[in-house]
């Protein structure tokens, strides 16, 4: 934690959200909105680069700029997709992620998910099929905060039977571009430069900039500068510093089924520790793997995977996981329903507004 900062600075633990759009749910249709092939390609392009210009997207998807702009803005307005910015809590000095696996009493998982999703320090909640009923990601500023959650707070939530905990010690991949295969080789035209800069010392301007981009990841530099009361050159420079260092990443939330991906999985691996780095980096090369982290606790590696169907799941299990030397334990939980992702409540099924975003 940076000197003088609290976890409330970016809304990770706060009585009232500092970043309303990040903690406030979207609205959208109860039923998924069918997407055309062009719509899917536009979404895939925005997954790769959420701040690409409409002309850049048009060049990749093979449509006019006006058609791309019209279709993308319609999907955003309908709540089908959302472009957002996410601060890396480790690089920004705001805390660190902790994964909880939760077993619930029969019939209680939905209520527990609703209760935990309402917490401002919870970034992700999903209902699982498998050995556990829920997986939850907390962002905690300190060991004392984590202790309070585990010892004093979770036991007040009715329906929780058992939990396991693991600290995230290194993140190898967080990606929202798992739909890039829809674009073929053209996807490379939208790839962002590698993150090579050192994390800057964040000040109030940086924090306010992150707040604005969390609310709308496609805010123009002109609008950002006006709202920050700084010059456009300063706003652009600060944005470039945050993204080049990995402190700030852009993502696009979309219901995976709208792009033809019907399986979302959370995978826990026990590995020979001497092989951990190699295994993590190998997993990170696969486009269907959207999250990989090294963990200390329940598992050695935690992954999130997006797949098309049963055959794709079989392929991933046998050809990807089965080929990794040094893996000695695999546990897979099927994500039945995502309740909260990237601080956004994305479902009304368990009492929070529906956004149809997974």
Q: Across residues 13-21, what is the average pLDDT?
A: 33
Is pLDDT above 70 for 353?
no
Half-sphere exposure in the Cβ direction for 66 (13 Å, CA): 0
What are 64-78's pLDDT values in tens digits?
999 999 999 999 998
Q: State the average pLDDT for the chain.
A: 86
The set of residues, in sequence order, having a beta carbon less than 8 Å from that of 227 and lying 6+ positions away, is 208, 212
Portion of the chain with pLDDT greater than 70, in percent: 87
Between 294 and 27, name the one with better pLDDT.
294
- Return d(Cα 305, Cα 39) in angstroms, integer: 23
User: Mind listing the pLDDT tens digit for each residue in 306-322?
Assistant: 999 999 999 999 999 99
* Secondary structure, 3-state, 235-270: HHHHHHHHHHCCCEEEEEEECHHHHCCCEEEEEEEE
Instruction: Please name the helix (run of DSSP H) or strand (run of DSSP E) that holds residue 221, with its range, or none.
Output: helix 221-228
Confidence bin at 3 (pLDDT 50/70/90): very low
User: Per-residue pLDDT for 36 more than 50?
Assistant: yes
Q: Is the pLDDT of residue 169 over 50?
A: yes
Q: How far apart are CA 140 and CA 4, in angstroms?
A: 16
pLDDT digits (tens, 9 = 90+) for 247-304: 998 989 888 888 889 999 999 999 999 999 999 999 999 989 999 999 999 899 999 9
Residue 245 has pLDDT above 50, yes or no: yes
Q: How many residues does the chain have?
A: 358
Contact 61, 41 (CB under 8 A): yes
Q: What is the pLDDT of residue 69?
A: 97
Domains of the chain and any CATH numbers: 37-87+185-254 (1.10.10.2890)
Percent with pLDDT over 90 in the chain: 66
Q: Which of 307, 302, 84, 86 is nearest to 181 (CA)?
A: 307
Among 48-62, 171-185, 201-215, name the one with the lowest average pLDDT.
Answer: 171-185
pLDDT tens per residue across span 105-124? 999 999 999 999 999 999 99
What span, in angstroms and rounded, lies between the C-alpha atoms of 310 and 318? Answer: 12
Q: Is 31 left (phi over 0), alpha (psi -120 to 50) or beta?
A: beta
Give pTM, 2 decimals.
0.81
Helix residue spans in 148-220 (DSSP H): 204-215
The band of 239, judged by pLDDT with boundaries at 50, 70 and 90, is very high
């Amino acid at each position: 934690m940076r000197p003088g900062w609290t976890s409330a600075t970016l809304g990770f633990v706060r009585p009232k959200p500092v970043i309303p759009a990040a903690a406030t749910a979207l609205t959208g249709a109860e039923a998924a909105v069918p997407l055309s092939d062009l719509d899917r390609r536009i979404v895939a392009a925005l997954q790769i680069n959420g701040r690409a210009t409409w002309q850049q997207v048009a060049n990749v998807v093979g449509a006019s700029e006006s058609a791309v702009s019209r279709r993308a803005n319609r999907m955003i307005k309908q709540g089908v997709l959302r472009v957002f910015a996410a601060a890396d809590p480790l690089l920004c000095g705001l805390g660190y992620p902790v994964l909880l696996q939760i077993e619930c009493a029969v019939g209680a998982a939905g209520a527990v998910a609703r209760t935990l999703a309402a917490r401002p320090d919870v970034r992700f909640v999903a209902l699982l099929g498998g050995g556990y009923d829920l997986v939850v990601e907390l962002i905690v500023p300190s060991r004392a905060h984590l202790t309070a959650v585990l010892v004093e707070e979770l036991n007040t939530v009715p329906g929780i039977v058992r939990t396991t905990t693991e600290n995230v010690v290194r993140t190898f991949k967080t990606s929202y571009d798992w739909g890039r295969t829809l674009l073929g080789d053209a996807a490379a035209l939208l790839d962002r430069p590698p993150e090579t800069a050192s994390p800057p010392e964040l000040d109030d301007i940086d924090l306010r900039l992150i707040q604005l981009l969390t609310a709308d990841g496609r805010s123009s530099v002109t609008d950002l500068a006006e709202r920050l009361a700084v010059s456009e050159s300063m706003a652009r420079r600060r944005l470039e510093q945050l993204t080049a260092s990995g402190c700030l990443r852009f993502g696009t939330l979309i219901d995976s089924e709208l792009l033809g991906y019907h399986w979302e999985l959370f995978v826990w691996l026990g590995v020979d520790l001497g092989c951990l780095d190699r295994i993590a980096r190998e997993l990170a090369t696969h486009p269907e793997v959207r999250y990989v982290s090294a963990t200390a606790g329940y598992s050695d590696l935690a992954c999130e995977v997006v797949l098309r169907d049963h055959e794709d799941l079989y392929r991933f299990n046998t050809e990807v996981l089965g080929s990794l030397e040094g893996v000695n334990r695999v546990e897979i939980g099927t994500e039945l329903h995502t309740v909260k992702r990237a601080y956004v409540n994305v479902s009304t099924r368990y009492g929070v507004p529906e956004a149809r975003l997974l």
